[in-house]
Structure 1
Amino acid sequence: MVPLVHAASGLLAAVIGAAHLDSQPVTIDETAPVITRDAIVIHAPASRVWHIQTDVEGWPAWQPGVSSVAKKTKGALRPGSSWVWSTEGLENITSTVEQVERGRRIVWGGPAAGITAVHVWTFEPTEDGVIVRTEESWTGEPVDANAEYLQEALDASLDHWLHNLKHRAEQGA
Structure 2
Amino acid sequence: MTFKDIGLSGAKTHSIVRTSGPTLDDPVSSGGDHTPRSRLSHTGVLVAGLALGLAIASGASYAGDQEDAAHAQSQPDAIRTMRSDLVNRSQEIHWPDGFDPSTADLFSHNEIVVDASCEHVWSKIVDARDWPRWYPNSKDVRIVGGGGTVLHANSVFRWTTFGLSLESRIHEFVPNTRIGWYGYAPGTQPTFYHTWYLTPKDGVCVVTMDEVGKGAGAIRLRQSNESLMHRGHDLWLVTLKWVSENGALDK
Say if 2:144 is the partner of 1:64.
Answer: no
Say if 2:103 is the partner of 1:44.
Answer: no
Bigger Rg, which one:
2
Say if 2:73 is the partner of 1:2.
Answer: no
Tell me which of the two structures has the higher relative contact order, counting C-alpha pairs closer than 8 angstroms and 6 or more residues apart. Answer: 1
Q: Is the 8 A contact 1:36 1:154 kept in 2?
A: yes
Q: Distance in 1 between matches of 2:194 and 2:246?
A: 26
Deviations 1:22-53 (A, max 9, x none): xx933543211211111000001211100001
The percentage of counterpart residues that share the same residue type is 27
Q: What secondary structure does 2:104 align onto?
A: coil
Instruction: Work out the number of aligned pairs and report it.
Output: 152
Deviations 1:111-144 (A, max 9, x none): 1398811111000012222000010011111222
Q: Is the 8 A contact 1:36 1:135 kept in 2?
A: yes
User: TM-score, normalising length from structure 1?
Assistant: 0.78
Structure holding more strand per residue: 1
Instruction: Look up the match of 1:77.
Output: 151
Question: Which structure 2 segments of 5+ residues have no match?
Answer: 1-59, 63-92
Q: Distance in 1 between matches of 2:129 and 2:232?
A: 19
Question: Which residues in structure 2 correspond to 1:1-173 (within 5 Å)?
Answer: 1-2=60-61, 25-27=94-96, 28-30=99-101, 31-73=103-145, 74=147, 76-91=150-165, 93-112=166-185, 116-172=191-247, 173=250
Q: What secondary structure does 1:165 align onto?
A: helix
Following superposition, the deviation at residue 146 of structure 1 comes to 4.4
Task: Return 146-155 or 159-168, whichever deviates more.
Answer: 146-155
Q: Distance in 1 between matches of 2:225 and 2:154?
A: 28
Q: Distance in 2 between matches of 1:68 and 1:146?
A: 23
Question: Which structure 1 segments of 5+ residues have no match?
Answer: 4-23
Q: Is the 8 A contact 2:144 2:155 kept in 1?
A: yes
Q: Is the 8 A contact 1:35 1:151 kept in 2?
A: no
Query: CA RMSD for the aligned pairs?
Result: 2.3
Question: CA 1:112 to 1:151, structure 2 compared with 1: closer, same or farther past 3 Å?
Answer: farther
Task: Return 159-168 or 115-124, whichever deviates more.
Answer: 115-124
Deviations 1:59-89 (A, max 9, x none): 0110112121111152653332111111232
Give the residue type in structure 2 aligned to 1:112.
A
User: TM-score, normalising length from structure 2?
Assistant: 0.55
